[in-house]
Structure 1
Amino acid sequence: MLFLSQFGSSKFKDIMEIVHASVWERVKLCFLAVVFGWYLVLRRLLKWAWNPNQFFVLRPRDKPPPCLVDNTFGKHSYIKLKGIKFHYVEAGNKEKPLILLLHGFPDCWLSWREQIPILSEYYRVVALDLKGFGDSDKPLNKSSYRIETLIDELKQFILSLGEKSCSIIGHDLGGLLGWYMAAIHQDVVCKLICISSPHPNFYWNTISGETIFSRKWVYFSTLPFLPEIDVLKEDLAVINDTYKHLQLTEQKSNKDYVEAYKYAFSRKEDWTGPINYYRNLPYTRLGRDGNQQITTKTLLIVGNADPYVSLENIIQSTEYVEKCNVKVVSGAGHFPHQEKPQFVNESIIKFLVVINLISLGQLVEKTAPTKSIVSSWLGSLSTTVKYGNQVFDAVHKRTNGVVPLSRKVPEQTTT
Structure 2
Amino acid sequence: MTDPAITARVPGNPVRDLPLHDLAGFTHRWVDAGGVRLHAVEGGQPNGPAVVLLAGFPQTWWAWRKVMPGLADRFHVIAIDLPGQGHSERPDGSYDTHTVAAHVHAAVQALGVSTYWLAAHDIGAWVAFSLALNFESQLHGVALLDAGIPGITLPDTIPTDPEVAWKTWHFAFHLVPDLPETLLTGREREYVGWFLKAKTLAADTFDDAEIEQYAAAITADGGLRASLAYYRHAAESARKNHEALEQHHLTVPVLGISSSHGSIPDMAASIRPWADNTTGIVVPDAGHFIPDEQPDAVAAALAAFIAESD
Q: Are the aligned partners of 2:255 and 2:279 in contact in 1 as well (CA < 8 Å)? A: yes
Change (3 A) 1:152 1:250: closer
| 1:155 maps onto 2:118 in alignment | no
1:276 to 229, 233, 238: 229
Counterpart residue number, 2:195: 242
Aligned residues of 1:81 and 1:157 also touching (Cα < 8 A): yes
**Aligned equivalent of 1:214:** 168
- Report the counterpart of residue 130 of structure 1 in structure 2: 82
Call closer, same or farther: CA 1:63–1:126 in 2, change over 3 Å.
Answer: closer
Which of 151, 155, 171 is matched with 1:201 structurally? 151
Partner in structure 1 of residue 215 of structure 2: 262
1:167 counterpart letter in structure 2: W
Residue aligning to 2:10: none
The answer on whether the counterparts of 1:105 and 1:173 sit within 8 Å (CA) in structure 2 is: yes
Which structure has more helix as a fraction of its residues? 1
Establish whether residue 300 from structure 1 lines up as the match of residue 253 from structure 2.
no
Equivalent pairs counted in the alignment come to: 282
Q: What is aligned with 1:93?
A: 45
Tell me the percent identity.
23
For 2:18 and 2:98, how far apart are their aligned partners in 1? Answer: 35
Structure 1 residue 226 corresponds to structure 2 residue 179: yes
Is 1:113 aligned to residue 65 of structure 2?
Answer: yes
1:268 & 1:241 partners in 2: Cα distance? 22
Structure 2 segments unaligned to the other structure (5+ residues): 1-16
3-state SS in 2 of match to 1:318? helix
- Structure 1: which amino acid aligns with 2:95? Y
Structure 1 unaligned spans of 5+: 1-61, 360-415
- How big is the shift at 1:201? 2.3
User: What letter is aligned with 1:296?
Assistant: V
* TM-superposed deviation, 1:334: 0.7
* Cα distance between partner residues in 1 of 2:183 and 2:224: 10
Q: Are the equivalent residues in 1 in contact too, given 2:192–2:214 (CA < 8 A)?
A: yes
Per-residue deviation, residues 127-152 of structure 1 (Å, max 9, x unmatched): 1110001111112x3x3313332122
User: Is the 8 Å Cα contact of residues 83 and 90 (structure 2) preserved in structure 1?
Assistant: yes
Code of the residue aligned with 2:37 in structure 1: it is K
Shift of 1:176: 1.3
Give the direction of change, closer, same or farther, for the CA distance of 1:162–1:295 in structure 2 (3 Å limit).
same
* TM-score using structure 1 length: 0.62
1:94 Cα shift?
A: 1.8
* SS of residue paired to 1:278: helix
Give the whole-Å Cα distance in 1 for the aligned partners of 2:71 and 2:203: 25
Residue 264 of structure 2 is matched in structure 1 by: 309
- Residue 204 of structure 1 contacts residue 282 of structure 1 at CA under 8 Å; is this kept in 2? no
Q: 4+ residue runs of structure 1 moved beyond 4 angstroms?
A: 206-211
If the length of structure 2 is used for normalisation, what is the TM-score? 0.82
Corresponding residue number in structure 1 for 2:134: 184
Q: Larger Cα Rg: Structure 1 or Structure 2? A: 1
Q: For the Cα contact (< 8 Å) 1:232–1:268, is it kept in 2?
A: no
Aligned with 1:164 (options 107, 114, 123): 114
Q: Could you say which residue in structure 1 is the equivalent of 2:14?
A: none
Query: In structure 1, what residue type is equivalent to 2:253?
Result: K
Q: Distance in 2 between matches of 1:289 and 1:80?
A: 32
Q: Is the 8 A contact 1:103 1:170 kept in 2?
A: yes
SS of the residue corresponding to residue 266 of structure 1 reads helix
What is the RMSD computed on CA atoms of the aligned residues? Answer: 2.5
